[in-house]
Amino acid sequence: MLDDTYIVSIEPKDRRHQTRDTVLTLLMWAVYVYLWVPLITLGAWLVGFERFYEIMITFGGFDVVLDLVGWYAFIIITIAACIISWAGINYSRFHDKERRYAAPMTKAREISEFFGIAETEVDRVRSSKRLRIELDELACISDITHYGHARADDQPHTVVLEDLSSPHS
């Protein structure tokens, strides 16, 4: 029968076990890398590592690379300074300056005229939490059903509009 023992913690028991585990891990990684050396050597030979060695070490190409790294660093620092300066300018221009304003509320009279409903119905629609508006074939409001906030018992209350004349026709 199988033992149902679970490993709860894999922490080494003491410093000696921890050292042993660390040394074994490093040893296994070294063996793993050593096994890859022939393939890495083949790849380096195929991509011309000998030419790289000749240019970088023999002809002093490393100094050129260091010079280029200096220029790259200068360019990156200049770009960063420009971006940070621009951000600072925009921060000073727009910090604590609210430029967004709410649109003025449309008057109930204008809405009632546009949709062909009573002004009192516009106020009820504005105060409703949930409602259903049905449209007819001409996209005019034919029915408004209120749910929630409009009535205390939270039962649907339907308003059927008799006059379907609207400015859209």
Give this prediction's pTM.
Answer: 0.32
Buried b (16+ CB within 10 A) or exposed e, 31-57: eeeeeeeeeeeeeeeeeeeeeeeeeee
- Indicate whether 26 belongs to any domain: yes
Once rounded to an integer, what is the mean pLDDT over residues 126-149? Answer: 84
CB 41 within 8 A of CB 50: no
- DSSP element (H, E) containing 145: strand 141-147
- The last residue of a domain, from among 37, 67, 94: 94
**Average pLDDT of the chain, as a whole number:** 80
Q: Residue 29's domain spans which residues?
A: 16-94
CA 23 to chain centre: 43
How many structural domains comprise the chain?
2
- 77 and 137 belong to one structural domain: no
- Indicate whether 5 belongs to any domain: no
- 20 and 82 belong to one structural domain: yes
